Amino acid sequence: MSEHSTTYLQGIVLDEESYCSFGELCRLCGASAEQVEEMIAEGIISPEGADQSEWRFTMVSIHRVQTVVRLHRDLRVNLPGCALVLELLDELAALRAMASRR
Amino acid sequence: MEYKDYYQILGIERDASADAIKQAYRKLARKYHPDVNKEKDAEERFKDIGEAYEVLKDPEKRSAYDRFGANWQSGEQFRPPPDWNMGGYEFHGSSGDTQGFSDFFEALFGQARGRSSRPRQEFRMQGEDQQAAISISLEDAFHGAKQTLNLNRPTLDEQGRVTMRPQQLNMVIPKGIIAGQRIRLEGQGMPGHGGGAPGDLYLEISFAPHPFFKAEKRDIHLQLPVTPWEAALGATLTVPTLDGKVQLKIPANSQNGRKLRLKGKGLSTSKTQGDQIVTLQVVLPEAQTEAQQGVYKSMAEKMAFNPRTDLGV
């Protein structure tokens, strides 16, 4: 690449069609394996695959786990509370999108 | 630097009790948490609230802060007095994460950390992730684009401190991105400490309003006004799409509200396809002249039509 050409950063789209492993999910979210396992048990995220070594998560899970980590850290919301907040936020986003199409 | 009125930020009186301060903080922290509040200034408000609480919850910091008196206004130019030695108090390391607090906070209470703790270089820690929201056009989402974004980004100043400054960021908008999706830019977050890797930058996508297209996930919706005779007799009409103009066949006897699908004219990626959904909107021309009224009268005579049968009348 020449000095004069501008570099454009290429990001990764975190969508439903791409996946990450259990290890990647923990690393990207700064969460421990135990924390993420608890989130799975709470139904906040759902892995595909039989056991932990085969688990894979859609990239959308990253945002869910990060939100839980922040809500817990900043507002001391517990896990069932975080699950509820996420569901309500999803509903709110859907309603907002519907209202903006009117 | 600008003076910060921590009492005003938390919406409390200067003589508020410790309980009242905690309550005000918790209430506002819930309200302005950036994951919950989608207003533009939520993140900044949330930081201010955290900073105000960091000072006012600590009796030593609070009384040192109170010594400036009540006459200062938020935003007023402020310089700590030359004899400011943190009010003669020995502050202990901050309990919370004070990264990203204001210059005002740093000038008054920031030295405590440097003095009491070990040199920062000993900690090897990854930088924090950053979040930002960006608005793009539907055209750019449809085709993919290269864009220069103006974002408030963390930069290191001469003293090695992190400050937020407006900065340009060149990035690729991937084809087929949709509203609500996030893009992760590795290593574009807060700088790391002690040689640690920088954090990542997460960008949440929203669409700028378009004069006539509306996006619903991958589908693009368009309301298409048609005449009664186009709807009744059928027609081939020119319709705008994000991919340019196309010809759309309107079947005969189409009712108002009928939806027609243009496959692949929505927001598509290599993996998934979006369509354009055209909703017909029959528009009635006004009957102004006698000849025009005659057309409606002749319709009334020739069309045996009651649109109110469902109402039982």
Integer-rounded Cα radius of gyration of chain A = 17
At B193, phi and psi to the nearest 5? -105, 145
HEC assignment per residue over A3-51? CCCCCCECCEEECCCCEEEHHHHHHHHCCCHHHHHHHHHCCCCCCECCC
Q: Provide the residue range defining the domain that includes A91.
A: 19-101
In a domain, A54, yes or no: yes
| B122 band by pLDDT with thresholds 50, 70 and 90 | low
Q: How confident is the model at residue B95 (pLDDT cuts 50, 70, 90)?
A: very low
Classify residue A56 by its DSSP letter: E
Say what the pLDDT of residue B170 is. Answer: 93
**pLDDT score recorded for residue B116:** 40
Percent above pLDDT 70 for chain A: 96
> Which one of B26, B169, B182 has the shortest CB-CB distance to A9?
B169
Nearest CB neighbour to A101, from listed B46, B171, B216: B216
Of the three residues B158, B177, B207, the one that is the final residue of a domain is: B207
Q: Lowest mean pLDDT: which of A46-55, B211-220, B288-297?
A: A46-55
3-class SS of residue A54 = coil
| pLDDT tens-digit series, residues B169-212 | 899 999 999 999 999 999 988 888 788 888 999 999 999 999 99
Q: What is the 3-state secondary structure (H, E, C) of chain B?
A: CECCCHHHHHCCCCCCCHHHHHHHHHHHHHHHCCCCCCCCCHHHHHHHHHHHHHHHCCHHHHHHHHCCCCCCCCCCECCCCCCCCHHHCCCCCCCCCCCCCCHHHHHHHCHHHHHHCCCHHHCCECCCCEEEEEEECHHHHHHCEEEEEEEEEEEECCCCCEEEEEEEEEEEECCCCCCCCEEEECCCCCCCECCCCCCCEEEEEEECCCCCCEEECCEEEEEEEECHHHHHHCEEEEEEECCEEEEEEECCCCCCCCEEEECCCCCCCCCCCCCEEEEEEECCCCCCCHHHHHHHHHHHHHCCCCCCHHHCC
Q: Which residue has the tokens 């509040």?
A: B37
Q: Is residue B37 part of a domain?
A: yes
Q: For residue A42, is it within any domain? A: yes
Residue ending a domain, among B159, B190, B207, is B207
Whether the predicted pLDDT of B91 surpasses 80 = no
Which domain CATH number covers B255?
2.60.260.20
CB contact under 8 A, B126 and A30: yes
Same domain, B154 and B190: yes
Buried b (16+ CB within 10 A) or exposed e, A24-41: ebbebbebeeebbeebbe
The confidence score (pLDDT) of residue B154 equals 67
Please give the average per-residue pLDDT across B141-147, as a whole number: 95
Task: Give domain status of residue A93, yes or no.
Answer: yes
Q: Do residues B14 and B113 both lie within one domain? A: yes
Q: Are residues B172 and B272 in the same domain?
A: no
The pLDDT assigned to A5 comes to: 76
Q: What is the CATH number of the domain that holds A80?
A: 1.10.1660.10
Has residue B80 got a pLDDT over 90? Answer: no
pLDDT averaged over every residue in chain A: 91
- For chain B, what is the mean pLDDT? 86
Q: Which of residues 70-99 of B touch A (CB under 8 A)?
A: none
Q: Which of residues 8-67 of A touch B (CB under 8 A)?
A: 8-15, 17, 28, 30, 62-63, 66-67
Residues of A in Cβ contact (< 8 Å) with B134: none
Asked if the structure places residue B125 within a domain, the reply is: no
How far CA B195 is from CA of B157, B171, B185, in Å, comes to: 17, 26, 19
**Contact at 8 Å (CB) between B228 and B282?**
yes
- Confidence band (pLDDT; 50, 70, 90) for B98? low
d(CA B222, CA B67): 62
Contact A51, B2 (CB under 8 A): no
- Domain of B249? 214-302
